[in-house]
């Protein structure tokens, strides 16, 4: 049976795993390899973790499925390791825990020896601060880090860096491609790695939990996020390190707020009651800090700010959280076309 190398790319949607998988496939194909790339939950997914399953082999006919024996895992955001540790997302847990021996590459400013791995593992751990590199070179916050991480991957796997740069430039001609190529080179030069890692924490993956049909709800009210199961209770594991903070004086859109419309999670809201002008507030339980709202804000009123800094200045998320504005946000005038009272029941 032909040998197949399996690589898992684990990220939040919007961090660039799809582009990274495509470029990686082209690099491997240039040296005669056959590559299969499968993305779950899909290339157009928003607001959820994305797992990109890459298979590389000398033989064609690779299966289009998840990876069951990965030897390499790239984690685009360190917080996803915490997600795996707490078994709070089955796909992330599965993608991390299936690698018993191999190489972990983690996007983090930490040194490799300071990374806490959630499950038993033997092999090498590498780290690179791809977020800092891409924020500076790509001028996006938070930035897509996938192509940058491939530079670090090239270093730890001895991949041809010149070929990787060429494929990045070909995939993204012009200024964007050049910036991503520079980011990949910087990651190649700055990645840190250690071998001989052997950890065996008491934590264990929970495995997939199969739901019974009779336990499923008949329907969900997707027009009322506050009525979705568990929504207002909040989640203890949020994949973010920055949140949007609004400078209300610059919040100028009188009717429709494009930031509210474009929020992929439905967790950002424009509010007016009780404010001198108006402002943008978030559900601090579920905002994942993707930065789309800040990127599209017409008046440049939104800034992505480190959440630890926000909590130092506003311990209860004052002037950030939607909490004091629930009556306005979930009022019937906001979510109904006919003003019917049953939508508030």
Would you state the pLDDT for residue 338?
47
* Total domains in the fold of the chain: 2
Q: What is the pTM of this model?
A: 0.78
Residue 247 lies inside a defined structural domain of this protein: yes
168 and 257 inside one domain:
no
26 and 146 inside one domain:
yes
Residue 228 lies inside a defined structural domain of this protein: no
Of 199, 215, 249, which marks where a domain is finished?
Answer: 199
Q: Which has more confidence, 259 or 64?
A: 259
Residue 147 lies inside a defined structural domain of this protein: yes
SS3 sequence of 107-158? ECCCCHHHCCCCCCEEEEEEEECHHHHHHHHHCCCCCCCHHHHHHHHHHHHC
185 and 290 inside one domain:
no
Would you state the pLDDT for residue 231?
38
Lowest mean pLDDT among 41-50, 200-209, 237-246, 319-328: 41-50
251 and 146 inside one domain:
no
54 contacts 332 by C-beta, under 8 angstroms:
no
225 contacts 231 by C-beta, under 8 angstroms:
yes
User: What is the DSSP code (8-state) at residue 211?
Assistant: P
182 and 266 inside one domain:
no
Residue 220 lies inside a defined structural domain of this protein: no
Statement: residue 248 has pLDDT above 60? yes
109 and 185 inside one domain:
yes
Residue 210 lies inside a defined structural domain of this protein: no
Of 199, 225, 247, which marks where a domain is finished?
Answer: 199
Number of neighbouring beta carbons within 10 Å of residue 290: 25
What whole-number distance in Å separates Cα of residue 150 and Cα of residue 111? Answer: 18
Phi-psi region of 194 (alpha: psi -120 to 50; beta: other; left: phi over 0): beta
Residue 326 lies inside a defined structural domain of this protein: yes
User: What is the DSSP code (8-state) at residue 321?
Assistant: B
Residue of 15, 59, 9 lying closest to 33 (CA atoms): 59
What whole-number distance in Å separates Cα of residue 16 and Cα of residue 28? Answer: 18
pLDDT band at 238 (very low <50, low <70, confident <90, very high): low
What whole-number distance in Å separates Cα of residue 317 and Cα of residue 286? Answer: 14
What whole-number distance in Å separates Cα of residue 231 and Cα of residue 220? Answer: 12
Range of the structural domain that residue 311 is part of = 239-344
121 and 36 inside one domain:
yes
Q: What is the CATH number of the domain that holds 184?
A: 3.40.920.10
Residue of 32, 12, 33 lying closest to 78 (CA atoms): 12
246 and 311 inside one domain:
yes
Q: For the residues 85-97, what does the mean pLDDT come to?
A: 88
Residue 167 lies inside a defined structural domain of this protein: yes
Tell me: the pLDDT tens digits for 103-159? 999 999 999 999 999 999 999 999 999 999 999 999 888 889 999 999 999 999 999
Cross-strand pairs, 121: 199
193 and 257 inside one domain:
no
159 and 255 inside one domain:
no
286 and 191 inside one domain:
no
79 and 190 inside one domain:
yes
Statement: residue 307 has pLDDT above 70? yes
Residue 207 lies inside a defined structural domain of this protein: no
């Amino acid at each position: 049976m032909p040998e197949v190398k399996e690589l898992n790319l684990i990220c939040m949607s919007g961090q660039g795993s799809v582009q990274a998988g495509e470029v990686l496939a082209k690099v491997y194909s240039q040296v005669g390899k056959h590559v299969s790339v499968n993305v779950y939950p899909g290339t157009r997914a928003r607001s959820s973790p994305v797992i990109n399953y890459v298979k590389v082999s000398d033989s064609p006919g690779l299966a289009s499925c998840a990876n069951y024996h990965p030897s390499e895992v790239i984690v685009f955001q360190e917080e996803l390791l915490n997600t795996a540790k707490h078994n709070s997302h089955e796909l992330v847990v599965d993608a991390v825990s299936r690698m018993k021996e191999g190489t972990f590459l983690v996007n983090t400013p930490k040194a490799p020896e300071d990374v806490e791995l959630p499950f038993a593992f033997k092999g090498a751990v590498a780290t690179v601060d791809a977020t800092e590199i891409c924020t500076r070179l790509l001028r996006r916050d938070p930035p897509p880090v996938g192509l940058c991480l491939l530079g670090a991957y090239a270093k730890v796997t001895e991949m041809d860096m010149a070929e990787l740069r060429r494929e990045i430039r070909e995939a993204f001609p012009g200024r964007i491609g050049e910036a991503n190529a520079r980011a990949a080179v910087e990651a190649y030069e700055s990645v840190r790695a250690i071998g001989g890692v052997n950890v065996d924490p008491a934590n264990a993956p929970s495995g997939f939990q199969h739901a019974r049909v009779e336990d499923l709800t008949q329907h969900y009210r997707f027009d009322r996020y506050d009525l979705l199961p568990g929504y207002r209770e909040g989640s203890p594991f949020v994949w973010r390190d920055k949140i949007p903070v609004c400078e209300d004086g610059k919040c100028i859109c009188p009717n429709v707020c494009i930031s509210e419309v474009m929020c992929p999670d439905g967790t950002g809201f424009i509010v007016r009651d009780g404010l001198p002008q108006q402002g943008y507030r978030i559900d601090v339980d579920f905002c994942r800090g993707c930065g789309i709202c800040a990127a599209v804000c017409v008046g440049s009123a939104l800034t992505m700010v480190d959440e630890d800094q926000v909590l130092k200045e506003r311990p209860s998320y004052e002037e950030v959280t939607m909490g004091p504005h629930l009556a306005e946000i979930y009022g019937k005038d906001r979510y109904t076309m006919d003003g019917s009272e049953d939508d508030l029941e």
